[in-house]
């Protein structure tokens, strides 16, 4: 049997090139498909176009200086995007490390809150705000939060969501009132949960608000309701954004809206305010 001919090797190279282009295109579609914010899509498109240009110059053009310049530009843009999206990249590494591959492709179930649960959360937050009792309530809408996602997973509760139970958990003389309460699928999953803190707004917000921002920066399918112990101000955190001050009726509207928004959309908007 003779050695493979030149035509055979050329056909093999063509197949590898086609496969390379198909895989790269599929990866680009997956990445762009997981982004909903318009400005982020523009950044990704520009970056992918730059990477494609660098590949084309390296493969088909004998231009050493241009190749070096394009490579340096791609590297600089990569570093800039790594800084801008450090939270998203950390989340990606966590998903890969924990084997939650379905979340990478948007295949996440949505743990819907019933209208009654939205009313319970709004009423409880309103009453806590009136009495200036500090509170932090995390609502998991499908982020599949696990104990390892928290600094301390707290105490398992697994009880039906109710206003009275929430008020009791955040009573000043209870051992769990300083931590967060985790709500999922219309049930209180745990209490006394300690959340990771955000690095943004260190001079503007208190510990509860930083914890709410820290968790929602990492998980886009969860919300955090915050009641300030000092002022009674009511806030809602979503995707690293904090809307405050809000009323209990406004909270009800935002929670209801969160159930209808697609993944990647935030219901909160940044609103500067003094530390509380």
Q: Is residue 178 part of a domain?
A: yes
pLDDT in tens, 81-140: 887 776 667 666 766 676 665 555 554 444 556 668 899 999 999 999 999 999 999 999
Q: Is residue 270 part of a domain?
A: no
Same domain, yes or no, for 45 and 175?
no
Q: Is residue 93 part of a domain?
A: no
Same domain, yes or no, for 193 and 68?
no
Q: Does pTM top 0.75 for this prediction?
A: no
pLDDT at 276 over 50: no
Give the contacts of 155 (CB within 8 A, at least 6 positions apart).
176, 190, 191, 192
Please state, in angstroms and rounded to a whole number, the distance separating the CA atoms of residues 241 and 199.
Answer: 13
pLDDT at 274 over 50: no
Same domain, yes or no, for 252 and 185?
yes
Q: Is residue 195 part of a domain?
A: yes
Q: Is residue 129 part of a domain?
A: yes
Same domain, yes or no, for 74 and 146?
no
Same domain, yes or no, for 48 and 152?
no
Q: Are 217 and 198 in contact (CB under 8 A)?
A: yes
Mean pLDDT of the residues in the chain: 80
Report the 3 state secondary structure along 166-192: HHHHCCCCCCCCCCEEEEECCEEEEEE
pLDDT at 23 over 50: yes
Same domain, yes or no, for 79 and 121?
no
Between 58-72, 103-117, 171-185, the lowest mean confidence (pLDDT) is in 103-117
Q: Is residue 106 part of a domain?
A: no
Q: Which of 41, 68, 84 is the last residue of a domain?
A: 84
Write down the pLDDT at residue 63. 82
pLDDT tier for residue 273 given thresholds of 50, 70 and 90: very low
Q: Is residue 200 part of a domain?
A: yes
pLDDT at 10 over 60: no
CATH number of the domain where residue 187 is located: 3.40.1700.10
Same domain, yes or no, for 216 and 151?
yes
Same domain, yes or no, for 137 and 222?
yes
Q: Is residue 23 part of a domain?
A: yes
Q: Which of 84, 100, 135 is the last residue of a domain?
A: 84
Same domain, yes or no, for 127 and 68?
no
Same domain, yes or no, for 241 and 193?
yes
pLDDT at 226 over 90: yes
Quote the tokens at residue 222.
Answer: 């969860």
pLDDT in tens, 197-222: 887 766 778 889 999 998 988 887 88
Write down the pLDDT at residue 180. 94
How many domains does the chain contain in total? 2
Write down the pLDDT at residue 136. 96
Per the structure, the complete domain to which residue 26 belongs is given by 7-84
Same domain, yes or no, for 55 and 137?
no
Range picked from 134-148, 220-234, 248-262 for highest mean pLDDT: 220-234
Same domain, yes or no, for 143 and 241?
yes
């Amino acid at each position: 049997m003779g050695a493979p001919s030149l035509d055979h090797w050329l056909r093999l190279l063509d197949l590898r090139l086609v496969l390379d282009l198909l895989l790269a295109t599929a990866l680009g579609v997956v990445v762009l498909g997981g982004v909903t914010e318009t400005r982020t899509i523009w950044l990704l498109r520009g970056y992918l176009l730059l990477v494609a240009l660098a590949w084309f110059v390296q493969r088909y053009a004998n231009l050493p200086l241009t190749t070096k310049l394009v490579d340096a530009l791609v590297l600089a843009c990569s570093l800039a995007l790594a800084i801008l999206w450090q939270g998203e990249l950390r989340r990606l590494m966590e998903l890969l490390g924990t084997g939650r591959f379905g979340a990478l492709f948007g295949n996440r179930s949505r743990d819907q809150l019933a209208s009654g649960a939205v009313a319970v959360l709004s009423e409880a937050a309103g009453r806590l705000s009136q009495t200036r009792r500090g509170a932090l309530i995390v609502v998991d809408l499908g982020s599949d939060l696990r104990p390892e996602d928290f600094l301390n997973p707290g105490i398992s509760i697994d009880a039906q969501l109710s206003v009275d139970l929430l008020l009791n958990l955040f009573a000043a003389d209870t051992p769990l009132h300083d931590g967060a309460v985790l709500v999922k699928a219309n049930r209180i999953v745990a209490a006394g949960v300690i959340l990771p803190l955000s690095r943004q707004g260190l001079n503007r917000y208190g510990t509860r608000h930083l914890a709410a921002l820290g968790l929602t920066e990492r998980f886009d399918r969860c919300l955090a309701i915050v009641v300030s112990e000092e002022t009674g101000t009511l806030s809602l955190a979503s995707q690293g954004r904090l809307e405050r001050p809000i009323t209990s009726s406004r909270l009800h509207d935002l929670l209801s809206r969160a159930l209808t928004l697609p993944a990647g959309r935030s219901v909160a908007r940044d609103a500067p305010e003094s530390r509380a």
